[in-house]
Amino acid sequence: MHVPDGGPRPSDEEALDAYSRVVTRVAEVASRGVVGIRTARGGRALGGGSGFVLTPDGLVLTNSHVVSGANAIEVTTLDGERYDADLIGEDPHTDTGLIRVTGALAPLTLCSSARLRVGQLAIAIGNPLGFDSTVTAGVVSALGRSLRAASGRLIDDVVQTDAALNPGNSGGPLMDSAGEVIGMNTAIIQGAQGLCFAIAIDTVHPVAIQLLRHGRIRRASLGIAAQTVPVSQSIRHHYGLAGRTAVSVREVEVGGPAARAGLEPADLLIRIGTTEVSGVDALHRWLSEERIGEPAPLELVRRGRDRRVTIVPREAG
């Protein structure tokens, strides 16, 4: 039997050998840059997870939920070396944490996750349940997923994989067949088979840079509490809305940007700038660092009447 292009079809043994060689090579390359993490607070152990080396001078990426609340962090390499680590910063909204150790470590190479394709090989390396440098392999099952962070915000651009993850894999790398990092393992769906998720490296890396610069992530704020609500067909038609929902203001912070712009509780936000405000998640995505201090037109509905105001987002506290 021949494949469509006329070439010989490899045997199952040959195919398995090629697959095994790729996974083995990636595991050997990556093991030097994957670390175990143990955390404690006030002398009481909090838990642990995994991380991977970002720079040779000791910067390590992991999940925010791995290091959150800890005042003592210990990093262990495959060679058994132990280092005390300092927390540089964390961002619970993307479940990203950045720590630093004093020591020379082997960094992993990052690959743009924009090049990922469904079906390509995905290899997860970490320290699940205390078992050091455990390797699992599978494929990229889906791209562009969204995952709700513990903070309540959506993490966009999440990679779904069937490479098995377990508690302790959190913060470890998801890698491609070239041994480059395509994502940071973050979550599994309890009770489901083969539903595991990694935050795309194109999301993680800019967050890490901001954490290194500022120790936190700068985001814009309007100074409101709000909720996503359905809108009537007549409103959708009148304002040319593609979605079926908008954002209703519940509270306005005294002295905040919304208060200065004249917003009131029960206002229905329709558009900000050129962006349709189809829900709180869409509003969060719009409120990025570059919006801080920049005036933006805001279209809203108040008691059935159209209003337009200008609002100047401030930095979120």
- The per-residue pLDDT for 152 is 85
Per-residue pLDDT tens digits for 193-249:
667 899 999 999 999 999 999 899 999 999 999 999 999 999 999 999 999 999 999
Only one residue has tokens 């954490």, namely: 211
Note the pTM of the prediction, 2 decimals.
0.82
Element (H, E) at 123: strand 121-126
Pick the range with the lowest mean pLDDT from 111-115, 197-201, 225-229, 276-280.
111-115
Residue 3 has pLDDT above 60, yes or no: no
CA distance 105 to 301: 56
Nearest CA among 244, 282, 153, 139 for reference residue 198: 139
- The per-residue pLDDT for 195 is 79
Instruction: Name the average pLDDT for the chain.
Output: 89
- The per-residue pLDDT for 190 is 58
DSSP state of 208: H
Residue 128 has pLDDT above 60, yes or no: no
Element (H, E) at 259: helix 257-261
Q: Which of 64, 170, 248, 278 is catalytic?
A: 170
Per-residue pLDDT tens digits for 49-81:
999 999 999 999 999 999 999 999 999 988 888
- The per-residue pLDDT for 28 is 87
- The answer to whether 151 is a known catalytic residue is no
Element (H, E) at 91: strand 82-91
- The per-residue pLDDT for 257 is 97
In the structure, what pLDDT confidence band is assigned to residue 189 with cuts at 50, 70 and 90?
low
Length of the chain: 317
Q: How many helices and strands in the chain, by DSSP H and E?
A: 6, 20
Q: Which of 50, 64, 93, 95 is catalytic?
A: 95
Type of residue at 255: G
CA distance 98 to 119: 30
Supply φ then ψ for residue 28, to 5 degrees. -70, -40
- The answer to whether 157 is a known catalytic residue is no
Share of the chain above pLDDT 70, in %: 91
Tell which CATH classification among 3.10.20.90, 1.10.760.10, 3.30.1600.10, 2.40.10.10 matches the domain 113-214. Answer: 2.40.10.10
Tokens of 69: 């609340």
CB 216 within 8 A of CB 243: no
Number of Cβ within a 10 Å radius of residue 121: 18
Tokens of 30: 């990556």
The domain locations on the chain are 113-214, 220-315
Tokens of 43: 């002398």
- The answer to whether 170 is a known catalytic residue is yes
Long-range contacts of 17-23 (CB under 8 A, 24+ apart): 19/121, 22/121, 22/177, 23/121, 23/123, 23/135, 23/137
- The per-residue pLDDT for 231 is 94
- The per-residue pLDDT for 13 is 62
Q: Which of 64, 65, 113, 248 is catalytic?
A: 65
Q: Which residues contact 213 (CB under 8 A, 6 or more apart)?
A: none
Per-residue pLDDT tens digits for 293-304:
999 999 999 999
In the structure, what pLDDT confidence band is assigned to residue 164 with cuts at 50, 70 and 90?
confident
Cα of 224 vs its chain's centroid, Å? 24
Tell which CATH classification among 3.30.70.100, 2.60.40.10, 2.30.42.10, 1.20.900.10 matches the domain 220-315. Answer: 2.30.42.10
